[in-house]
Amino acid sequence: MAEKIFMDMPGGRKMPAVGLGTWTTDEKEVETALNAAFETGYRHIDTAFLYKNEAAIGRVINEWISSKKLKREDLFITTKLPMQAMHKDRVEKFIKTSLESLQLDYVDLYLIHGPIGTKYVEEGAPTTANIETVETDHIAIWKKLEEQVDAGRTKAIGLSNFNIRQIDRVLKSARIKPSCLQVELNVYLQQRELVKFCQQNDIVVVAYAPLGSPGFNEFLAKTGREPRKLPDVLNDKTIVKAATKHKKTNAQILLRYLLQKNIVVIPKSINPARIKENINVFDFSLDAADMKALDDLEVGEGARVFDLRVPKFMDHPEFPFPK
């Protein structure tokens, strides 16, 4: 098994194979998390306009760079074009806003957050209750993303939550190919066909919710919604067995499994001990029998947590998942 601490991207660039996720991490939490992550050796941070924490992330990055503990070129920062900016005339404005918040001249990767555009709102995101979708032209938006590479505002561009048909369409018209696809991916939702398609097309796959997003119900509660019955990936008995065998934690087994498939992982944590645990995954290997046992845990669509199952989304022609 190739041990990859960095994944190769087109054009010779490299993406650290473990990054820190920051969804649902507020400004105070992100400060603690980022400091702990940088101390531990993380260099890859995943954020988004919609996470409302870019400014706090920018402050921490700025402190580390100005005190010469880190150089900008050591970092890999990803942010994303939100769904309310899914229009060719909004791409430049939104990447500039993110750069200003992050106090950066460029990001390493700029992603289209999802394939469906929603009605324009200046701040934050439309709420689930009042969501209005709009017609979404991926090709026109992609051209604008390419212009951001030309202008030096991002080193690479990519997609998130797109399906094979949608990626293929972008690939066919692209002057600068998508170099990354960020999707929900873990041992219960392995997305094998999608991963194969991306890897055959030199698109780095980044797994979000690699631990099954165990904090998802906390997020629903915070936003006034009912909890859902979620798959408990983290405590699956096959994972517990592998963890006991390798003297590692359940989370480390889940992350290592994806890394051995050349998939980048971006586990989120605000807990310094877990942040450390989640990157300490390069000193052991899962053997063929372990990998087979974990392969067999595939549930498929039933395990999808971020399913976009809002009526207005499901009626949109670019709804990306099987209905």
**Interacting residues with ligand NAP (CB under 6 A):** 21-23, 46, 113, 160-161, 182, 208-215, 234, 249, 251, 266-271, 274, 277-278, 306
Q: Which is nearer to ligand NAP, 173 or 271 (CB)?
A: 271
Q: Which is nearer to ligand NAP, 182 or 260 (CB)?
A: 182
Q: Which is nearer to ligand NAP, 197 or 208 (CB)?
A: 208
In terms of Cα–Cα distance, which of 177, 232, 223, 185 is closest to 205? 185
Q: Which is nearer to ligand NAP, 104 or 254 (CB)?
A: 254
Q: Min. distance of Cβ 186 from ligand NAP in angstroms?
A: 7
Positions annotated as catalytic residues are 51
